[in-house]
Structure formats: C-alpha cells, structure tokens
A and B are shown apart, each in its own frame.
Chain A
Amino acid sequence: MQQETRKRMIKESAIWGFIVLELIFFSVAGHFLSLSENAFMDFENMLLLLKQSAPIGIIALGMTVVMINGNIDLSVGATFALAAVVMLDSMSWPIFAPLGDWVIPVSWALALLTGMVLGAINGFIVWKTGVDAFIVTLGSMLGFRGLVFMYNGEQPTFQLNWTMVDIAEARLFGLQTPTLVLIVCTVLVWLMLNKTIHGRNVYAVGDNREAAVNAGIRVGPHMMINFIIIGFLAALSSVVFYSASGSVNPNDGMLYELWVITAVVLGGTKLTGGKGSVIATFGGVIAIQLLRKGLGHIGADTAMVNLVIGSILIAVLYLDKQLNRKGDGDLKV
C-alpha cells in the first residue's frame, strides 16, 4: 500500500519534474545556442509564456473534464472560431448601436452562449444516439467549421474596440487578463471536480459507466452538462483571445483540439477516462508552451517543434504504461 501511494505521487508530480527539466535544459542550451542576448528564464518572458498558454489552457480544462468522463471533444477548435465570429460580428449589429461600449459584455455573453449551445448539441447527440463522442464531435468539428465559413466566406471578421483591448490587456498583480482567466478557471474547475457531486460523478461515469448506471446516475444528461462546460470554456478562451486581437480568420483555431488533447494527456489524464486532474493539465499546457518557446529560443523551426512534441507524447504514454506495470512479481497484462 505504501509503495502504491508513493508510485501514485511520483506519477502525479511527473509533469512538474518534466517542466523543471525543460527549464534547466533551455536555460543551459539557450546560453550556448540562442541568438538573443536575453536569458530564457527571464521574468517577463515567463509572464508572456503564461499569457500565451491561456487560449489552449482554458480549453484544456474543459477537455480534462470531458476526457475524465470517458468522452472526447474534437470540435473545440471550430467552436473557438465560431464564438469569435459571433462576438466580433455582433458588436457592429445595428440593434446594439445605442449601447455604446456596453455592447462589449453583451457580445461576450452572446459568444459564451454560442459555445454552450454548440456543446449542448454535441452532448445531446451523444446522449440520444449513443454514438461514440469521437465520431459525433468529428462530425460537429466539420459542421461548426462550415458555419464559420458560411458566416463571412473566406474573409476575416474584425472589430477593433479600444476599450475592449484595454480590458483584455489589463494587468492585475503583474498578470495579464488571459493569465488571470486561466488561473481562475483552473481553480473553479478543480473545485468542481473535487468538491461537487457532479464532479465526483464525472470520475465515476468515466471509470465504470455501467456501475454509474446501476447506481442510478443519469449518465446521458450528466455527459451533456460536461459538453456544455467544454463549449463554454472554448468560447471563453475565444473571448479572451479575440478581445485583444479583434480579428478572426475562418481558419483560426484549427488543430487546437490536437494541442489541447496533447496537453491533457501529458498531464496524465487517462485516455479511457476515470482518472485525471486539472492541476496536472495546467502543468501539461505549460510544458507544451515551454517546449514551443524553448525550441524557438534555441533556433528550431515549427516542424522541429511538432516532431519533438509528438515524440515526447508517445514517450510519455509508454512511460505511463511502464509505471502502471507494478513490479516484477506482478501480473503482466
């Protein structure tokens, strides 16, 4: 039992060890390879890194919930784009003209609502048809992206509102708005998963769906709520990002689902469900962002970055499997 607990602790803190390793590596390697004069572990640089982690990170929180629940959501990138289109476009709708700058919260709300509706659609289909979430959200990924293109063709949608940009770039205790949103959301989702009945049921359903059904948990509506949560978070991520940039291309958010899932898996959430933690996901997001930034710092290009991250992902899954095999005398699978 003691050994079990120790093993569990090692596994849970693995991602943080990995981050420390990355920091050391890039600081040292950067010293020799980097073209720039700045140290990698510069304070401003780290703050920037947190801010850049926010868009993927906020969605990854939702993905953690959905994956612990035993599902997956591939449509988050498209939801991200569609929410941005709704937000930026609605700001110039004539009916909102009298509102002045008060249009900002209204557009935000509309964007968030869009995300929730899209999530609800996914959840409802999974509930009522019983089709695997992978397939359902693969379909909606294409469908939602189609909606983005229908809205404005190949054209970008843009809306520059300086008040909004000011809010988006505000700082509190030195942290920028996106970072703050990411941290607050992490805390909230953590509280939900660990302290509420719904959160505990997320684990129960993902671990053993049949047992959950037997125990009388209404699995369908339960899963739908989680899809609404991830839809909301994808839209929130979009709100945070596009409030600052003010312009969305119809292809934005593409492949986000893959980055998000990679971060969640790096954080140790089980692909089959039942196990995972948002704190570790937070770690996974930071780890990926560090890698991207760090490799850039020492002069690697995007292709190289992708190759490295892909290899690390596979290595992590392999290591996890090895760790799960308990000991020599123990049962092999």
Chain B
Amino acid sequence: MSVHDQKPALRLEGIVKTFPGVRALDGVSFSVLPGEVHALMGENGAGKSTLMKVLGGLHQPNEGKIFMGDEPVVMGSPMDAKAKGVVFIHQELSLAEELSVAENIYLGELPRKSFGRVDWDRLYADSGAILKRLNCGFGPRTLVGDLSIANMQMVEIARALTVDAKAVIFDEPTASLTDAEKVVLFEVIADLRAQGVGIIYISHRMEEIFRISDRITVLRDGAYRGTLNTAETDEDEVTRLMIGRSLDMSRNAEHVETGDVALEVRGLSCGKLFQDVSFEVREGEVVGFYGLVGAGRTEIAETLFGLRTPSAGKILLKGKEVSIHSPMDAIAHGISLVPEDRKTQGLVLGMNCRDNITLPQVGDLTAGPFVSDGAEIAIFDQYRDRLDIKTPNWRQQVGNLSGGNQQKIVIGKWLSMHPEVLIVDEPTRGIDIGSKSEIHNLIRELAKSGYAVIVISSEMPEVMRVSDRVIAMYNGKLMRSFTADEVTEDNLVQAISGLSENGKVA
C-alpha cells in the first residue's frame, strides 16, 4: 500500500497565525493520513506547537482552513477538537497535581451519573484499564503530585487513549521519559497506528524520528519547508531543510590541558537517593554524568547546589572543605546549576526575557540606586546572539516563547554568571539540533577557558560528544568512570544498567 493514494484523516491548509510582533505561522499546509506517523520537525520557535494548538482548538488561525476527511471544520475549543477526534498531548505537563491520576486522565470529561455526580466506578475502571495498557506501575487512585515527572508524562499520554481518536498529537513526549518508558510509548503509538489513527509526532531527536515515523514535515520560521518520506531520506537532508546547513556531529577529539582540582566530592550520600559518591572535577574539564532517569544524577547536582542536605560526605572546592546550605551559598562559592525542569525551577514565566537572564546578578548591575538598564540589555543581547534565542525583543514575556527558547534563556542566565563550577542538567532537552551543537560548543569553550563543568545527560551522543570524562551511575551509585578514549557505547550501556563487565548485576 502506498501512502499517496489514501485520503488524509486530517488536513490543514494555508494556516496563518500571528501574535503581536511575531508571525508564528505563515501559510502552512499539513496533512495526516490514517495509520501513519507523521513527524513534525523544525528549530525552536519554528511554529510546531503553534500549528498543533491551532489544530487542537487552543488558537484560532488568522487565515486558513482545517479539513477532516472532505469537510471543512472549525476547532472552536479544545473540547470541540477532542469531540471531533483530535487529541493533543502537550509539550509542557498540563496536570492538576492535587487530583488523582484517574481524574487527570478524564479531566474535562469525567463520566457522569444523575444529578451531575461523578461515576467513580466507571472512572476508576476505565482509567485502570488504560494504565494497564501502558504498563504503568501506579494505580488510578494515586495522586498525581506523588508521581515522578516521567510518570506524570505517562498520565498525559494516557489521555490519548480515552476517546476514539482520529488523530493524536504528541508534542515532544519523550523529553522526560526513561528508555524503558519510551519503548512502551512507541508500542502505544504502533498500536494506535494499527487501528488507523493518524499520529503527529514532534521531537528534536533524530533517532526517534527515523525509528517511528513514516513521513517528516519540516517547518522553518513559521513557513512550510517540505515533506519527506522517512524511508527515502537521511538525517543530513532533514537537518539541511531545518537549518539550512549540515552539522558536524563528531565526538570530542581535542584534549584540553586540565588544571587543578576545582571540585572534589568524598563519600557524599543523601538518604536513599545516592550513596557514597566520590569524584573530582578539574579546571578546564567537562565531566559527563550518564545514567538512566532516576539514577541519582540530578539529586547529586541539587546537593552540590545546596538544595538538599547530604546525610554524609564532604564537598571540597579548590581543596578547601565547604558547607553549602542554600543556593545562595553555592552561588557565593561560584557554583551554578542549570536545572532540569525549566518551567518550575529555572524561570519566572511572567517576567520578560532580559530580566530572566539577569535575575541572579541584578544586585551587581546598578547605576546609582537603580538597576542599570543598559548593562542588562547588553548581557541579554550577548546571549541572545550566542544561543540564537528567538524572540521579537527583550520585552517579550518568557512564558510566550517556544519551549526550546525558554530552555536557552535558563542556560544564558547561568552562563552570564561566569561560575567556576557549572553544572548543567539535561542542557539540551527540547532543544533543536542546530542550537544543540551550539550549546555543546559553548560548554567546550567554557571548559577551555578554565571552568570546571559537569554535564548531566540521558542522551548518549551528547555525553560522548562533550565530555573529557564520563561517570556512569546506576541506582544511586557511581559505577565506573571512563576517559574519553575508553568510553564506547557498549561499555557505557553496560555500566548504567548495573551490569559488571562479565554481565552480572553488581
């Protein structure tokens, strides 16, 4: 069967959407066939989420039409779209944490009994069945607030299975999933696809796109750039369509002269989260922490940054023991952390771009009693160019930026602090491949100019590319440390799954 002689389940034609100062979509056309996985790609701010919000009834387009089958339809509201069979799984978690998993899955359409009462039996039965299908390890009555980020994402995905969907939109669903959960997600997608549902899949991860998609559509600066059959194309072609040039994705080859030990950790433990962790980072060195989500890497970073109190162990900076009780202490000692969860930990969404970047150092940027506007704008400009942040100007509220550009603001914020020890947690989650390599270069450059850098990442190509040394973690313990020459995909996978060299569980 060829995909070309099928009728699309869903078609968008000539969609234009403008926001004040931004033309987010400029005449984009797009279609999904029943039973295909259609990947949507493009740089941060290219307009992918906006296009999907138009389709999902969250935005009304300024121009253009949506067709289901042959009929033109108007998606008046998210309810409306869902009733028509379009299910949207959002890029950012969209959950009510004080409610149960079941209530979140059926949010907005709780099953009804007489007098507007909730039909709890049906609610729990139905959502229980969906969770079972997704192989989730938690029940429908669990409070969402008690779940890990990855499990919350599974709750979002569970929403796709509540209605008889014609099209399901996944906007960067894998950003916070572990490898095992990813497999389950891909099974769910295959399942939906076999039932003739059209899938729209947004991701910046090439390997995923090539693994599951049938076609790839590329957007650039709000404009349609073309659609490719996945089987007939390669990463390079997609990259060129996306950013207009090829990228060098080679591994870190250069060897930097490392200096003195900048940070040393001895026997650090924090309850059940991680135990007896010892390592050192030298000036001019990038140390990558690799492991599965939940291996304790983020928790180590948070401890170094004063967000958690260690239960044992020492932290030494330049050979001197220090005690870090709060982020304030950490910043004073020259430690910066780019957190993993940008939305809740890294940004003030209602503030503008410039103020977010200069937030931690605003006390230093004064002219007389006032904050110096000029100095702030200069810093903002520098990092906007450096990181290629897409925003009409510095006055734009960060909450209105695309997901990836928000992440860039967080990174810019901490880089502008010129820390001595920089910890970056999942620095390129949700970031497009062009800026990703830009951020990698930036991390290398920072190290070259003498900073000690710790990179935490769940993406193997990323750690292998930027690190001088890779530390593998499993279940709260350091498994092994590799130099850049020693490390291979095989021995890394072995180390993070808790297997020792001869295949036994350590």
Please determine whether chains A and B interact with each other in the same assembly. Answer: yes
Decide: A210 near B94, CB < 8 A? Known: A195-B118, A197-B110.
yes
A188-216 contact mask (Cβ, 8 Å, vs B): 1 or 0: 00000001111011011001101111111
Minimum CB distance partner of A276 in chain B: B98
Minimum CB distance partner of A273 in chain B: B98
Interface stretch (choices A86-94, A111-119, A307-315, A323-331): A323-331
Within 8 A of A (CB), among B61-113: 77-80, 82, 88, 90, 94-99, 103, 107-110, 112
Chain B's nearest CB lies how many Å from the CB of A331?
6
The verdict on B503 contacting chain A, using a C-beta distance below 8 Å, is no
Minimum CB distance partner of B115 in chain A: A196
The verdict on B59 contacting chain A, using a C-beta distance below 8 Å, is no
Chain A's nearest CB lies how many Å from the CB of B75?
11
* Complex Cα spacing A1 to B306, Å: 25
State which of A195, A328, A331 has its C-beta within 8 Å of the C-beta of B311: A328
The verdict on A51 contacting chain B, using a C-beta distance below 8 Å, is no
CB-CB < 8 A to A214: which residues of B?
A: 58, 78, 88, 90, 94
Decide: A208 near B118, CB < 8 A? Known: A197-B110, A215-B108, A329-B270.
no
Minimum CB distance partner of B88 in chain A: A214
CB-CB < 8 A to A328: which residues of B?
A: 271, 309, 311
Minimum CB distance partner of A68 in chain B: B98
Chain A's nearest CB lies how many Å from the CB of B214?
28
With an 8 Å Cβ cutoff, the count of chain A residues facing the other chain is: 29
CB-CB < 8 A to A329: which residues of B?
A: 270-273, 308-309, 311
A210-241 contact mask (Cβ, 8 Å, vs B): 1 or 0: 11111111100000000000000000000000
* Complex Cα spacing A29 to B144, Å: 45
Decide: A213 near B273, CB < 8 A? Known: A274-B98, A331-B308.
no
> Once the chains bind, are A211 and B107 in contact (CB under 8 Å)?
yes
Interface of B is mostly: loop
The verdict on A321 contacting chain B, using a C-beta distance below 8 Å, is no
CB-CB < 8 A to B308: which residues of A?
A: 329-332
Q: How large is the interface on B (under 10, 10 to 19, 20 to 34, 35 or more residues)?
A: 35 or more
> Once the chains bind, are A215 and B311 in contact (CB under 8 Å)?
no
CB-CB < 8 A to A4: which residues of B?
A: 146
B101-143 contact mask (Cβ, 8 Å, vs A): 1 or 0: 0010001111010011110000000000000000000000000
Chain A's nearest CB lies how many Å from the CB of B232?
36
B440-481 contact mask (Cβ, 8 Å, vs A): 1 or 0: 000000000000000000000000000000000000000000
State which of B108, B118, B272, B326 has its C-beta within 8 Å of the C-beta of A217: B108
State which of A196, A203, A211 has its C-beta within 8 Å of the C-beta of B116: A196
The verdict on A292 contacting chain B, using a C-beta distance below 8 Å, is no
A195, A200, A214, A327: which has the most chain B beta carbons within 10 Å? A214
Residue positions of B touching A, CB distance < 8 A? 58, 77-80, 82, 88, 90, 94-99, 103, 107-110, 112, 115-118, 146, 270-273, 302, 306-309, 311, 326
5 inter-chain pairs at a CB distance below 8 angstroms, sorted by A residue, are A200-B110, A204-B96, A216-B77, A330-B308, A331-B307
Residue positions of A touching B, CB distance < 8 A? 1, 4, 195-198, 200-201, 203-204, 207-208, 210-218, 274-275, 327-332
Nearest 7 CB-CB pairs, A to B?
A216-B79, A215-B108, A329-B271, A207-B96, A215-B107, A211-B94, A216-B78
